[in-house]
Structures are given as structure tokens and as C-alpha cells.
Chains A and B, each alone.
Chain A
């Protein structure tokens, strides 16, 4: 069992440097989107998990400006019942 845990650690160490090399680009900057509409459920869904949680910047790769705008519109969408605060299956 001890061997198994060691091998896991080795693979984990190998993954790290490759992940650091990747440069994530803000998709909104790429597409030239300036305004994120809170009624556009499709776009907002891409930046939330299955549970309905917002995806952090470190995983989505958004720039600070767009992440702020995205957060605002997700919260507005939640209030207007366009998106759920929590997904149904986890209620």
C-alpha cells in the first residue's frame, strides 16, 4: 500500500511543472466582449460548476476586469431566477 501512495505522489509531481507552463487567456478579451449580459444564461453557465458555484479565475483564466463583471452578472442572474443559487439535485 505504501508503494501505491508513493507512485501517486510521483505522478502528481510530474504534472505540476507542465501545468505551470500553460498560459490561460481570458476568453472575453479574446472575443472582444466588453459587456457580459446577465440574461445570457449560456455564457454564464460556462463559468459555473455543476453545483452552480462560480469558477475561480485560476481555473477559468479570466482577467480581473472580466471576472469582476462576470461575478456581477452571475449574481444578478441568480436573483432574477435565470440561474439557480444551488442546483436542484443538491438541494
Chain B
């Protein structure tokens, strides 16, 4: 048994139901051959770095699974025969297996936090149109409800902030690197340019 990671890109022009089927077809191949899927990461439609078969976007999915050595060649065969799979790559996975709960929380917390914020303001005007006696009652919960949203929002942001500083710190060095590389490149022609231009002048003087 080995841990593999298969990433593939599907043509995004088909419907969501069809894409689901195409992803499920691959999970079936893995499970039918005695493999067990640890993690399924649907990255969704992303822009391709370069056009493939005239397509600018692709639906990315990656599967991390345990299985026998029989599975990768079978997957390769399937990918080759089926048209909607634009790109595919199976590698021996050496990294830590991501726990599904952590990633699901990260993905889900970000989205619902935005949705209720938009939905709640809509409720307020509805409550006002109703009986004035209810206004006091309805507004009170309406005021309380945004608070948990406000609490949730920073909770979502804090892990992101905690991650970013570690990531952002190395950036300046990366920026410096090209700057250093460019600087000598710019200086070099300046030095060379006058050296090249001088000799003809000197030659002209000599000729005169």
C-alpha cells in the first residue's frame, strides 16, 4: 500500500452535475481497486496559467488516497480515453495528510460569514413594516444577531493573519533578489557603452 495524490483538471464548460459525475468516476476506480480515499480537495474552476486545448479555465480536483500500485496505471488509462480530463498527474504523496475538518472549517466559515451579513439587513426592513409593537422585539434580536457575526468574522481573519506574517516576511528578500540581479545588469552596459564609444572617437582623432 502506498499513498498517492492524483490531481486532474476537468473541462469546466460542462454542468456541475456532469463534473460531479466525472469526479465520482475516478473515486470509483480507486475504491473498486481496494483503495481508500483520505482527502478530496475540490479547488473549483481556476484560470489556467496557459491555454490548454483552447481553454482558459479548468476545474481542479485533487485526491489523496491509499492504494496498491495497480491504481495509478488504471487511472492513467481512464484519463487518456476520456476527453473532458484536460490534465492529470499522479504522484507518490510524501506530505502530511490534511485533516478534512480543518480545511472544511476554513472553507465554510469564510462563506457563511459573508452571506448572513448580507441577509440580515434585509430582515430589518421587513420587521419595521410589521406592527410597531413588534419592532422593539424584532430589533432586539436583530441587534444581537450581528454580534456573533462580528465575533465570527475576526475569528476567521485571525488564523489568516497568523499565517500571513510567516509568509509575508520572506517576500522582501525575494524582491531584493531580482533587484540585485538587475542592478549589476544595468550597471554593466553603462560601463561597456562608453568603452565602446571611445575607440571610434580616438580613431577619428588619429585619422585627422
Interface check A68, CB cutoff 8 A: no
CB pair A76–B91 under 8 Å, yes or no, is yes
Closest to A27 in B: B170
Known contacts: A39-B43, A81-B48, A81-B49. The answer to whether A46 contacts B87 by CB under 8 A is no
CB of A82 within 8 Å of the partner chain = yes
Please tell me if the beta carbons of B187 and A81 are within 8 angstroms of each other in the complex: no
Chain A residues with a Cβ under 8 A of chain B: 1-2, 4-5, 8-9, 12, 27, 31, 34-35, 37, 39, 42-43, 46-47, 49-50, 55, 59-61, 76, 78-85
What residues on A are CB-neighbors of B50 within 8 Å?
81, 84-85
Chain B residues whose C-beta falls within 8 Å of the C-beta of A9 in the assembled complex: 191
Which residues on A sit within 8 Å (CB–CB) of B95?
34-35, 37
Partner of B194, one of A1, A46, A76, A79: A1
Docked complex Cα distance between A27 and B191 (Å)? 36
Q: In angstroms, how far is the closest chain B Cβ from the Cβ of A21?
A: 15
> A5 contacts B52, CB within 8 Å?
no
Q: What residue of chain A has the Cβ atom nearest to residue B164's Cβ?
A: A42
Give chain B's interface residues, CB within 8 Å of chain A: 7, 9, 43, 46, 48-50, 52, 58, 60, 62, 87, 89, 91, 94-96, 166-167, 170-171, 173-174, 177-178, 180-181, 184, 187, 190-191, 194-195, 197-198
Residues of B within 8 A of A4 (CB): 190, 194
Contact A60 B187 (CB under 8 A): no
B94 touches A43 (CB 8 A): no
For residue B9, which residues in chain A have a CB less than 8 angstroms away from its CB?
80-81
For B181, list chain A residues within 8 Å (CB).
49, 59
Contact of A55 among B7, B58, B62, B174 (CB under 8 A): B174
* Residues of A with C-beta under 8 A to B194: 1-2, 4-5
A8, B194: Cα distance in complex, Å: 13
The 4 closest A-B pairs by CB, nearest first: A35-B95, A84-B49, A81-B48, A1-B194
Q: Which of A35, A60, A79 contacts B174 (CB 8 A)?
A: A60
